[in-house]
């Protein structure tokens, strides 16, 4: 059924169609609308039986999810940014215990300085947590991916983060095709846990494992993740059969056939990039796009296959590995190891900085000329940073950088930044 | 389930880890000797029979009791219960009323007509027991149970010895004696009354006895020289008490003076009261604290109106009056005359100065040694003459019914061994379970159950039994006051308090076993055992 | 004469079992076939109070739940000594997640079970969460408070041994004043833990007005079992705080574990009580009142109070704390 609804609501409805049994919620922007809607469904009886638990922190949210999942219930939660970091210990624990929790991460920057807007720093900070991570490009894909996520997580007995860009997707009203309950039921089998807390078979879950077996346990976690690479294409194909549309998968290319320049990105940014590519293709540029849907496990073979014919690769990412450059770019480089291809890291849109088509046009053209730095910060205000650097060189007690920069930029911007959480 | 490797483990799999290897000390179950048992002259396993009484199995309790002592109804009345003096419960509140429970069991046995089990097989040996007092009856009982043919020759017209002729019936009703004697006779013991053994050697030969146990008692009252007018009636206590058993009650008059400070003096004074004496005055040369009589008996006598002149001696007796001299204790605590005199009205003076044994039957028996008026015996109760054993009042020891009963049992064991050409070696005694071995925390608060006492008016005029028995309710209560010192009573503490589940419960009556595979030797079971029935011992290696 | 009907059982209910008691009045621990929820072979120190307390409590909960029980366990001694790969001592379904999240994990289990029961997929299964004092009063306190506040259907059991014993005896917020730990050494002007710090979580639990809060010690098994039974008869958030002496951390002989716990209760140092919906309902009265010295002296963690010189003023302050407990909870009433 086609609907014009907010992305969060679309995800909430899709999650509800997956018949979760326990949902834990702790408010943090920009995921709040998702759990608000689910809370409504549980309270009004639309989603039943289901326990909706208002927990006291994200740490508790993930912990409740751990308990619930270990007891055999299909379990869902959502978070973002600081919340994801606050639950980090439990995030690792959930994957270590092999509990197929599905969690939406409404991607948002991490402070300080505190910032509620979109980038991928939060999800990518947990890239080694043992969770599967998939990134939605559109609201349609976001809701579709949640349905696939339950299937994948429960089959592998691994938790999964469905990442969608905060505000850009979560708060955007778009037309979506909402599946029917029958379709979801046909696609998503009943959860059969691989292990469960059960008085009939009273196993101990969460043993202390020493050097004699820890390596093996971690290897098995890795091996299990790698299995997702094999399963996902099948699940995507099956999804197409049941729902009649393409969604999910490992990676997607766009106008990549003869591309000399390939742009790589994740999430909603891909839409903007495609529009720019369309215009550049029309102008005769040989440029294409690789969109990465599955970030963990990282589809090395597919990325290499998609990019190996290009002369250069521009990785446009909403994250920054401070002191190195890019996170996604580093992963892409690994996929291209030993190939004579230049890989440019472009850090863009962090903390919600708009990525405009104009800037992308300029960037891609510079890239085609190999006229950009290996690590480029898109639309960085050099005047501001130079001024601050100069201030710090001249004054020992130079004060907090963020506030100083806000003063330099102006009052209006400062007011925006004060809206917290 | 297909469990994730290493993270998820099978239930209870830690059994593979034998933590017993950590141990440097190991707990072991022990049976320590309860202080009551250690103190009992009759060698009763008091804790053992109380254990059965605690669960309300009185017959089993009685059977356990009579393993050692065939006279519980008597003993429950006249024993001076050294067990209670030793009882560890006195350090908690007050000693367990063992004697009261013993009497309850004895009376239950009489009421229900419980009989002793007959011996399985006969040894073919014949044993002569001389005297049907407590010692003789006890020996006869044990010997009969060992399968020997036993004949008791009693000089008197009734069985019981000093129990009958020395203890007033308000303390020991005669039907109780009769019942307990009859039960021994029913076991197959031949009791010949009015059969005085004049010469033991002849008697043994005549009856073709293989061994003899002599227990003739001390029936001859000691006399003291008191200058007296002819008219003064001076009698001895034993005669007075003995004549109480006949048709003719003794004539003591309105004012009776009893000379002596032992239990017999008390008995006579109280008897005199009951016979109608207006005054019964005990004259004793030392203090109440020094008097050999048991304090409870002195107390009961005083309650009944018996008067006592402590620190006094009788200097002379005249018609209707005696003169006493006040004494004072010297530095060493001995009474010394003060030269201060007092006259007391007295119709009769009863001497209660101790008793002697008639050893006439021993004349001409080679090897016998008599010293201080008693027969010398070895540790096996045998006299200097092989095959002749002796016990009770006629051998050197404290003269109580309980000691006599103990002698009977001990002698029987040695006679039994001697008859088989062997010697009896008592098993080594366990370490005594002293109070410091216990953990008294675990015992519930419980006051001593007091036996009811006859009204004072009736005590002064009748020979009804003064101290009544416990009823079932409070006898059970009293039995359960036992701390079971040194002997497991299956409270499950060791089983419960082990942090390593290393105690195996074997089921009711079977106690527990340590599982040394897992016992780490922490010792909590030892500390928390209420009754001190576990000990830590070092591991050998 | 004094008359007491025969309802006197030699040891009453002070001992674990009592052959004279009717079977239905005997403790769970006295049963020949008790659950042994935590089995032999665990690696707890000799005389471990926590191993004992855990078996007491979980066995009682198993009994109350007819064996339909799931346990969540915080990181700590209990977890470490019971489940080192490849062996577990637990014979109940059991999960260890983290140090600070046990109450929340239990909440999740309870939520799952509720839904599964509604769906008819599983029977009524009860949930117990357990942790040491560090995992409860410190790092797990947020999750605990959340579980209380939501009145989740979980019995949370804290085994309080007054410190982080697993990591080497460091101070927790349950470490009593003056006690020596590795982070409150017996040095300086105020040796040992400071006065006026720490928190008594049972009182904080009461402030949440949850249906049931109780304290217990390993020295009073029947009381402990009765409280578990009572707690298991109630739905919603319940809290049981059990004092479990630690021979290693407290510097006591391994055989003294129960005796020390008893002294804690008898001196008033540790009040044993139960409360419903925030109101005190009953106390386990002190049976034989004792001065705090009797409790302090056998413990090396208080050795600096007695040597090289006696710190009488510190002992007096501890006595004041005990007296305050006695007054506040009425621990001498009913004697």
List, as one string, the DSSP characters of A305-318. HHHTT-SEEEEEES
Is B174 found in the same domain as B105?
no
Query: Is residue B120 one of the residues assigned to a domain?
Result: no
Is A303 found in the same domain as A184?
no
pLDDT surpasses 60 at C3:
no
Please indicate if any CB of chain A lies within 8 Å of the CB of C261. no
Domain that holds residue A256: 251-377
Contact B168, B78 (CB under 8 A): no
Is A167 found in the same domain as A185?
yes
CATH code, A49: 3.40.50.970
Q: What is the pLDDT of residue A419?
A: 54
Is B303 found in the same domain as B230?
yes
Among the candidates B338, B354, B370, a domain finishes at B354
| Mean predicted confidence (pLDDT) in A335-344 | 96
Distance from the A408 Cα atom to the nearest Cα atom in chain C, whole angstroms: 41
Q: How many domains does chain A have?
A: 3
Is A263 found in the same domain as A391?
no
Please indicate whether, in this complex, the C-beta atoms of C109 and A60 are within 8 angstroms of each other.
no
Choose among A196, A201, A217: nearest Cβ to B7: A217
Is B342 found in the same domain as B261?
yes
Is A133 found in the same domain as A257?
no
Distance from the C175 Cα atom to the nearest Cα atom in chain B, whole angstroms: 23
Distance from the B260 Cα atom to the nearest Cα atom in chain C, whole angstroms: 33
In this structure, the strands spanning C212-217 and C273-276 are: antiparallel
| Mean predicted confidence (pLDDT) in A93-109 | 98
DSSP, collapsed to helix, strand or coil, labels residue B540 as coil
Q: How many domains does chain B have?
A: 4
Q: What is the pLDDT of residue A421?
A: 44
Q: How far is CA C275 from CA B88, C262, C269, in A?
A: 39, 21, 18
Residue of chain B whose alpha carbon sits nearest to that of A214: B6
Choose among B442, B480, B502: nearest Cβ to C15: B442
Residues 5 through 64 of chain B touching chain A, CB cutoff 8 Å:
5-11
pLDDT surpasses 70 at A185:
yes
Is B202 found in the same domain as B159?
yes
Query: Is residue B507 one of the residues assigned to a domain?
Result: yes
How many beta carbons lie within 10 A of that of residue B123, not counting itself? 16
- Provide, as residue numbers in chain B, all residues whose Cβ is less than 8 Å from the Cβ of A206: 7-8
pLDDT tens for the 541 residues of chain B, in order: 568 888 889 999 999 999 999 999 999 999 999 999 999 999 999 999 999 999 999 999 999 999 999 999 999 999 999 999 999 999 999 999 999 999 999 999 999 999 999 988 899 999 999 999 999 999 999 999 999 999 999 999 999 999 998 899 999 999 999 999 999 999 999 999 999 999 999 999 999 999 999 999 888 888 878 887 666 788 899 889 988 888 788 888 899 999 999 999 999 999 999 988 999 999 999 999 999 999 988 999 999 999 999 999 999 888 888 999 999 999 988 899 999 999 999 999 999 998 899 888 988 889 989 998 899 999 999 999 999 999 999 999 999 999 999 999 999 999 999 999 999 999 999 999 999 999 999 998 888 878 788 888 888 888 888 888 888 888 999 999 999 999 999 999 999 999 999 999 999 999 999 999 999 999 999 999 999 999 999 998 6
Is A137 found in the same domain as A158?
yes
Please indicate whether, in this complex, the C-beta atoms of A216 and B6 are within 8 angstroms of each other.
yes
Choose among A195, A207, A209: nearest Cβ to B1: A195
Mean pLDDT of chain A: 95
Q: What's the first-to-final CA gap in chain B, in angstroms? A: 43
Q: What is the pLDDT of residue B460?
A: 82
- Look up residue C130 and give its DSSP letter: E
Q: What is the pLDDT of residues C161-219, one digit of tens each?
A: 999 999 999 999 999 999 999 999 999 999 999 999 999 999 999 999 999 999 999 99
pTM: predicted TM-score of the whole model, two decimal places: 0.92
Residue in B2, B3, B4 to test binding to A, most A beta-carbons within 10 Å: B4
Is A396 found in the same domain as A360?
no
Q: How far apart are CA A223 and CA A217, in angstroms?
A: 10
Separation of CA C9 from chain center: 27
Q: How far apart are CA B151 and CA B192, in angstroms?
A: 7
pLDDT surpasses 50 at A272:
yes
Please indicate if any CB of chain B lies within 8 Å of the CB of A213. yes
Residue of chain C whose alpha carbon sits nearest to that of A65: C108
pLDDT surpasses 50 at C1:
no
Distance from the B4 Cα atom to the nearest Cα atom in chain A, whole angstroms: 8
pLDDT surpasses 80 at A101:
yes
Pairs of residues, one from chain A and one from chain B, whose beta carbons lie less than 8 Å apart? 47
Distance from the A125 Cα atom to the nearest Cα atom in chain B, whole angstroms: 25
Choose among A21, A60, A203: nearest Cβ to C143: A60
Q: What is the pLDDT of residues A322-338, one digit of tens each?
A: 999 999 999 999 999 99
Q: Own/partner pairs for B227-233, CB < 8 Å, 24+ apart?
A: B227/B315, B227/B316, B227/B317, B228/B316, B228/B317, B228/B318, B228/B349, B229/B317, B229/B318, B229/B319, B231/B318, B231/B319, B231/B320, B232/B317, B232/B318, B232/B319, B232/B322, B232/B346, B232/B348, B232/B349, B233/B347, B233/B348, B233/B349
Nearest to B219 by CA among B87, B399, B379: B399
In this structure, the strands spanning B255-259 and B279-283 are: parallel
Residue of chain A whose alpha carbon sits nearest to that of C101: A63
Distance from the A112 Cα atom to the nearest Cα atom in chain C, whole angstroms: 24
Query: Is residue B448 one of the residues assigned to a domain?
Result: no
Residues of A with CB under 8 A from a CB of C: 21-22, 24, 49-51, 53-57, 59-60, 62-73, 75, 89-90, 93, 97, 197-199, 201-210, 212-213
List, as one string, the DSSP characters of C228-274. HHHHHTS-S-EEEEEE---HHHHT--GGGHHHHHHHHHHTTSS--EE
Is A408 found in the same domain as A372?
no
Please indicate whether, in this complex, the C-beta atoms of B522 and C9 are within 8 angstroms of each other.
no
Please indicate if any CB of chain A lies within 8 Å of the CB of C141. no
Give the CA diameter of chain A. 71
Q: What is the pLDDT of residues C44-61, one digit of tens each?
A: 999 999 999 999 999 999
Please indicate if any CB of chain C lies within 8 Å of the CB of B468. no
Residue in A72, A207, A223 to test binding to B, most B beta-carbons within 10 Å: A207
Please indicate whether, in this complex, the C-beta atoms of A203 and B9 are within 8 angstroms of each other.
yes
Choose among B5, B6, B11: nearest Cβ to A203: B11
| Mean predicted confidence (pLDDT) in A110-131 | 97
Is A95 found in the same domain as A35?
yes
Q: What is the pLDDT of residue B99?
A: 95
Choose among B2, B7, B11: nearest Cβ to A207: B7
Is B370 found in the same domain as B409?
yes
Name every residue whose Cβ is closer than 8 Å to that of residue A282 and which is 6 or more positions away in sequence. Answer: none
Domain that holds residue B175: 126-220+356-419
Is A367 found in the same domain as A398?
no
Please indicate if any CB of chain A lies within 8 Å of the CB of B230. no
Residue of chain B whose alpha carbon sits nearest to that of A209: B6
Choose among C82, C88, C108: nearest Cβ to A68: C108
Q: What is the pLDDT of residue B228?
A: 75
Choose among C10, C16, C91: nearest Cβ to B497: C16
Is A182 found in the same domain as A68?
yes
Is B69 found in the same domain as B26?
no
Is A182 found in the same domain as A36?
yes
Query: Where does the pLDDT of residue A413 fall: very low under 50, low under 70, confident under 90, or very high at 90 and above?
Result: low
Residue in B3, B9, B14 to test binding to C, most C beta-carbons within 10 Å: B14
Contact B173, B244 (CB under 8 A): no
Phi, psi of A67 (to 5 degrees): -60, -45
Contact C267, C295 (CB under 8 A): yes
Query: Where does the pLDDT of residue A359 fall: very low under 50, low under 70, confident under 90, or very high at 90 and above?
Result: very high
Is A147 found in the same domain as A232?
yes
ipTM of this complex: 0.96
Distance from the C137 Cα atom to the nearest Cα atom in chain A, whole angstroms: 16
DSSP, collapsed to helix, strand or coil, labels residue C109 as helix
Residue of chain A whose alpha carbon sits nearest to that of C80: A208
- Provide, as residue numbers in chain A, all residues whose Cβ is less than 8 Å from the Cβ of C68: 199
- Provide, as residue numbers in chain B, all residues whose Cβ is less than 8 Å from the Cβ of A195: 1-4, 8
Q: What is the pLDDT of residues A273-297, one digit of tens each?
A: 999 999 999 999 999 999 999 999 9
Is B400 found in the same domain as B321?
no
Q: Which two tokens stand for residue B182?
A: 């009859």
Is B228 found in the same domain as B216?
no
How many beta carbons lie within 10 A of that of residue A309, not counting itself? 15
CATH code, A315: 3.40.50.920
Cis amide leading into B340 (omega within 30): no
Among the candidates A213, A243, A273, a domain finishes at A243
Separation of CA A393 from chain center: 38
The CATH number fitting domain C34-329, selected from 3.40.190.10, 3.20.20.70, 3.40.50.970, 3.40.140.10: 3.40.50.970
| Mean predicted confidence (pLDDT) in A154-178 | 97
% of chain A exceeding 70 in pLDDT = 97
Pairs of residues, one from chain A and one from chain C, whose beta carbons lie less than 8 Å apart? 173
Please indicate if any CB of chain A lies within 8 Å of the CB of C115. yes
Residue in A18, A39, A50, A71 to test binding to C, most C beta-carbons within 10 Å: A71
Q: What is the pLDDT of residue A45?
A: 97
Q: What is the pLDDT of residue C256?
A: 98
């Amino acid at each position: 059924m086609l609907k014009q609804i907010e992305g969060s609501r679309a995800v909430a409805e899709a999650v509800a169609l997956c018949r979760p049994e326990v949902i834990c919620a702790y408010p943090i922007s920009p995921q709040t609308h998702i759990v608000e809607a689910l809370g409504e469904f549980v309270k009004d009886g639309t989603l039943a039986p289901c326990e909706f638990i208002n927990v006291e922190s994200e740490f508790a949210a993930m912990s409740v999810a751990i308990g619930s999942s270990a007891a055999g219930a299909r379990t869902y939660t959502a978070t973002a940014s600081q919340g994801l970091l606050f639950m980090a210990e439990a995030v690792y624990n959930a994957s270590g215990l092999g509990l197929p929790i599905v969690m939406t991460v409404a991607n948002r920057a991490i402070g300080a300085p505190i910032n509620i807007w979109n980038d991928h720093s939060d999800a990518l900070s947990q890239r080694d947590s043992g969770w599967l991570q998939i990134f939605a490009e559109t609201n349609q894909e976001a809701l579709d991916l949640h349905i696939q996520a339950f299937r994948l997580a429960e089959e592998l007995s691994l938790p999964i983060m469905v990442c969608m860009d905060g505000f850009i997707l979560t708060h955007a009203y778009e037309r979506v095709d909402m599946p029917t309950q029958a379709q979801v039921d046909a696609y998503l089998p009943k959860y059969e846990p691989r292990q469960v807390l059960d008085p009939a078979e009273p196993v101990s879950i969460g043993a202390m494992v020493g050097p004699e077996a820890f390596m093996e346990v971690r290897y098995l976690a890795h091996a299990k993740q790698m299995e997702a690479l094999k399963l996902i294409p099948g699940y995507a194909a099956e999804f197409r059969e049941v729902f009649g549309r393409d969604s999910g998968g490992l990676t997607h290319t766009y106008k990549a056939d003869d591309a000399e320049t390939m742009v790589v990105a994740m999430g909603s940014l891909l839409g903007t990039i495609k529009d720019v590519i369309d215009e550049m293709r029309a102008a005769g540029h040989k440029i294409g796009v690789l969109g990465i849907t599955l970030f963990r496990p990282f589809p090395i073979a597919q990325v290499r296959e998609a990019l190996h014919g290009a002369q250069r690769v521009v990785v446009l990412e909403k994250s920054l590995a401070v002191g190195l450059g890019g996170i996604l770019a580093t992963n892409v480089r690994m996929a291209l190891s030993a190939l004579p291809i230049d890989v440019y890291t472009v850090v863009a849109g962090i903390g919600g900085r708009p990525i405009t088509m104009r800037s992308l046009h300029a960037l891609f053209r510079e890239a085609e000329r190999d006229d950009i730095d290996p690590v480029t910060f898109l639309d960085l205000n050099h005047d501001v940073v130079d001024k601050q650097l100069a201030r710090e060189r001249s004054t020992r007690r130079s004060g907090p950088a963020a506030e100083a920069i806000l003063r330099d930029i102006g009052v209006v911007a400062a007011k925006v930044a004060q809206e917290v959480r | 389930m297909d469990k994730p490797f290493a993270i998820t483990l099978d239930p209870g799999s830690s059994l593979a880890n034998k933590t017993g290897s950590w141990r440097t000390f190991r707990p072991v179950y022990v049976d320590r000797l309860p202080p009551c048992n250690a103190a009992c002259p009759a060698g009763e396993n008091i804790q053992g029979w109380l254990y059965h009484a605690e669960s309300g199995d009185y017959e089993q309790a009685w059977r356990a009791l009579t393993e050692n002592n065939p006279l519980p109804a008597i003993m429950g009345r006249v024993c001076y219960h050294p067990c209670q003096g030793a009882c560890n419960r006195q350090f908690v509140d007050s000693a367990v009323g063992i004697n009261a429970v013993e009497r309850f069991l004895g009376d239950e046995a009489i009421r229900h007509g419980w009989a002793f089990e007959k011996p399985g097989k006969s040894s073919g040996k014949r044993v002569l027991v001389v005297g049907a007092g407590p010692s003789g009856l006890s020996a006869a009982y044990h010997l009969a149970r060992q399968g020997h043919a036993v004949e008791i020759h009693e000089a008197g017209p009734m069985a019981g010895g000093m129990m009958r002729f020395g203890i007033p019936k308000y303390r020991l009703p005669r039907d109780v004696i009769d019942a307990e004697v009859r039960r021994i006779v029913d076991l197959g013991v031949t009791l010949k009354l009015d059969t005085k053994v004049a010469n033991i050697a002849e008697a043994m030969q005549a009856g073709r006895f293989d061994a003899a146990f002599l227990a003739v008692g001390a029936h001859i009252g000691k006399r003291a020289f008191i200058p007296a007018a002819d008219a003064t009636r001076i009698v001895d206590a034993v005669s007075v008490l003995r004549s109480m058993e006949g048709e003719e009650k003794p004539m003591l008059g309105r004012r009776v003076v009893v000379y002596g400070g032992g239990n017999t003096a008390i008995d006579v004074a109280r008897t005199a009261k009951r016979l109608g004496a207006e005054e019964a005055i005990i004259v004793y040369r030392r203090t109440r604290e020094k008097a050999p009589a048991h304090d409870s008996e002195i107390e009961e006598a005083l309650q009944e109106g018996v008067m006592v002149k402590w620190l006094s001696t009788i200097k002379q007796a005249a018609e209707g009056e005696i003169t006493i001299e006040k004494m004072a204790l010297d530095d060493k605590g001995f009474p010394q005359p003060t030269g201060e005199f007092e006259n007391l009205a007295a119709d009769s003076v009863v001497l209660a100065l101790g008793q002697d044994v008639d050893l006439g039957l021993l004349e001409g028996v080679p090897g016998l040694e008599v010293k201080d008026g008693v027969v010398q015996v070895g540790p096996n109760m045998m006299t200097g003459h092989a095959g002749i054993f002796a016990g009770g009042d006629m051998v050197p020891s404290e003269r109580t019914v309980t000691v006599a009963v103990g002698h009977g049992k001990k002698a029987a064991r040695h006679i039994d061994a001697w008859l088989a050409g062997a010697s009896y070696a008592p098993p080594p005694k366990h370490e005594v379970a002293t109070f410091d071995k216990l953990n008294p925390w675990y015992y519930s608060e419980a006051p001593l159950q007091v036996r009811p006492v006859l009204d004072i008016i009736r005590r002064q005029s009748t020979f009804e039994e003064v101290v009544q028995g416990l009823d079932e309710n409070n006898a059970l209560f009293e039995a359960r006051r036992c701390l079971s010192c040194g002997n497991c009573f299956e409270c499950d503490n060791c089983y419960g308090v082990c942090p390593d589940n290393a105690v195996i419960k074997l089921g009711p009556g079977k106690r527990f076993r340590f599982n040394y595979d897992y016992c780490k030797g922490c010792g909590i079971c030892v500390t928390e055992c209420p009754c001190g029935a576990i000990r830590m011992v070092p591991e050998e290696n | 004469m004094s008359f007491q009907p025969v309802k006197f059982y030699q040891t009453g209910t002070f001992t674990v079992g009592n052959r004279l008691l009717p079977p239905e009045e005997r403790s769970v621990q006295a049963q020949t076939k008790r659950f042994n929820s935590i089995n032999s072979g665990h690696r707890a120190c000799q005389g471990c109070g926590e191993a004992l307390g855990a078996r007491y409590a979980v066995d009682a909960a198993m009994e109350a739940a007819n064996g339909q029980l799931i346990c969540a366990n915080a990181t700590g001694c209990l977890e470490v000594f019971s489940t080192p790969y490849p062996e577990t001592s637990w014979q109940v379904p059991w999960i260890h997640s983290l140090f600070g999240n046990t109450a929340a994990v239990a909440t999740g289990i309870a939520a799952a079970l509720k839904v599964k029961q509604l769906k008819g997929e599983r029977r009524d299964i009860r949930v117990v969460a357990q942790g040491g004092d560090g995992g409860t009063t410190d790092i797990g306190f947020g999750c605990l408070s959340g579980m209380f506040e939501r009145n989740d259907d979980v019995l949370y059991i804290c085994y309080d041994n007054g410190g982080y014993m697993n990591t080497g005896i460091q101070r927790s917020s349950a470490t009593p004043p003056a006690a020596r730990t590795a982070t409150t050494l017996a040095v300086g002007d105020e040796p040992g833990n400071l006065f006026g710090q720490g928190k008594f979580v049972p009182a904080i639990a009461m402030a949440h007005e949850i249906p049931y809060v109780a304290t217990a010690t390993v020295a009073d098994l029947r009381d402990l079992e009765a409280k578990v039974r009572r707690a298991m008869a109630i739905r919603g958030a319940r809290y049981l705080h059990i004092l479990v002496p630690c021979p290693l951390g407290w510097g006591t002989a391994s055989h003294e574990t129960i005796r020390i716990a008893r002294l804690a209760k008898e001196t008033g140092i540790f009040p044993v009580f139960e409360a419903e919906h925030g109101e005190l309902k009953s106390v386990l009265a002190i049976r034989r009142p004792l001065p705090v010295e009797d409790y302090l002296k056998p413990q090396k963690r208080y050795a600096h109070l007695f040597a090289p010189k006696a710190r009488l003023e510190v002992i007096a302050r501890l006595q004041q704390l005990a007296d305050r407990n006695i007054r506040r909870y009425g621990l001498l009433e009913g004697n």
